[in-house]
């Protein structure tokens, strides 16, 4: 009798184990689906989705808003937030450990000074200077030497700002002495002074003058007297979204991004 009882118990155990096998298999499938869902945090390009913060030179304000929207559209799930300022201000933020993912400056000098904080940089665009005047150019500013007229109110960017450094370079090369009424912290501040009619003229990037069509006139500067601004982009070593940040920086050199930049007046790198 005891033997018969043990036999029934063993048979029941075997039946229970047999029933549990398919259930375990079903559980494994659910876990697989959950794991697949966890990996859904990657975009179609294989780059991780993330909320990116990009520090960018103020002269990129308009074009990067367009570029950011384009990037988000082609990379669902990734959001790009920009913080615009003069390159020297951005450099100070990086050195202070600002929680950002990538940096784009308006000159290579500033970027080179941040090698301990950034990964390898790539030039993604170029620019050049123009003389911005009040709409209609009432003071008849035709070339750089006209800026030396003491009766003219001229504004420049501060010499530590890339556009201010470029301005000094081209004025010094032509031996032109300009006494600005003010020295501004970034190119947008220079442009604003001209737009508002507070000054007669100022040196800005060609692309910035283009954003104020109908408000300012742009006087071209011959290539032989001009300076070429280079815009390097790099990921930051403090980034917590290194893969997604690298994908964005790489995208800036793609045909899609280059078209956006060149449509805004930037030159190819």
- Is residue 60 included in any domain, yes or no? yes
Same domain, 170 and 99: no
Same domain, 156 and 234: no
Q: Is residue 193 exposed (0-12), middle (13-18) or buried (19+ Cβ within 10 Å)?
A: buried
- Is residue 6 included in any domain, yes or no? no
Same domain, 143 and 190: yes
The pLDDT of residue 14: 38
Give the predicted TM-score (pTM) of the model.
Answer: 0.81
The pLDDT of residue 28: 41
Q: Residues 87, 268, 81, 118: what is their CA dihedral angle, to the nearest 10 degrees? A: -50
Same domain, 151 and 213: yes
Same domain, 169 and 139: yes
Same domain, 57 and 185: no
The pLDDT of residue 18: 41
The pair of structure tokens assigned to 96 is: 């202070």
Cα→Cα distances 171→139, 154, 159, Å: 19, 13, 12
Distance CA(178)–CA(149), nearest Å, equals 8
- Is residue 132 included in any domain, yes or no? yes
Nearest residue to 202 (alpha-carbon basis) of 137, 153, 135, 139: 153
Structural domain of 151: 128-228
Other C-beta atoms closer than 10 Å to the C-beta of 12 total 10
The pLDDT of residue 223: 96
Same domain, 140 and 157: yes
Same domain, 157 and 223: yes
Provide block-wise average pLDDT over 10 residues at a time, the chain (269 residues): 39 40 40 36 55 98 97 96 97 96 98 98 98 97 97 97 97 97 97 97 98 96 97 98 97 98 97
- Is residue 222 included in any domain, yes or no? yes
Same domain, 110 and 243: yes
Same domain, 64 and 190: no
The pLDDT of residue 48: 59
The pLDDT of residue 40: 35
Same domain, 95 and 148: no
Nearest residue to 208 (alpha-carbon basis) of 92, 54, 53, 64: 64
Distance CA(10)–CA(127), nearest Å, equals 83
Q: What's 93's domain CATH number? A: 3.40.190.10
- Is residue 241 included in any domain, yes or no? yes
Same domain, 138 and 201: yes
- Is residue 22 included in any domain, yes or no? no
């Amino acid at each position: 009798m005891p033997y018969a009882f043990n036999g029934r118990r063993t048979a029941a155990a075997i039946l229970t184990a047999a029933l549990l096998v398919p259930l375990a298999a079903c559980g494994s499938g659910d876990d697989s689906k959950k794991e697949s869902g966890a990996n859904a945090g990657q975009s179609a390009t294989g780059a991780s989705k993330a909320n990116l913060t990009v520090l960018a030179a103020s002269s990129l304000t308009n074009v990067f808003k367009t570029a950011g929207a384009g990037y988000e559209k082609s990379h669902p799930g990734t959001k790009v937030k920009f913080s615009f300022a003069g390159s020297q201000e951005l450099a100070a933020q990086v050195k202070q450990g600002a929680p950002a993912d990538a940096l784009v400056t308006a000159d290579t000098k500033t970027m080179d000074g941040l090698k301990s904080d950034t990964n390898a940089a790539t030039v993604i665009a170029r620019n050049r200077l123009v003389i911005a005047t009040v709409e209609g150019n009432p003071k008849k500013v035709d070339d750089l030497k006209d800026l030396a007229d003491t009766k003219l109110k001229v504004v420049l960017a501060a010499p530590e700002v890339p556009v201010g450094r470029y301005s000094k370079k081209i004025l010094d090369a032509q031996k032109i002495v300009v006494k600005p009424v003010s020295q501004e912290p970034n190119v947008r501040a220079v442009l604003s002074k001209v737009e508002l009619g507070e000054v007669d003229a100022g040196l800005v990037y060609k692309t910035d003058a283009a954003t104020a069509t109908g408000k300012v006139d742009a006087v071209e500067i011959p290539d032989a007297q001009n300076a070429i601004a280079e815009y390097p982009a790099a990921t930051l070593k403090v980034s917590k979204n290194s893969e997604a940040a690298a994908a964005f920086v790489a995208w800036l050199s793609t045909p899609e991004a280059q078209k956006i930049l060149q449509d805004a007046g930037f030159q190819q790198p």
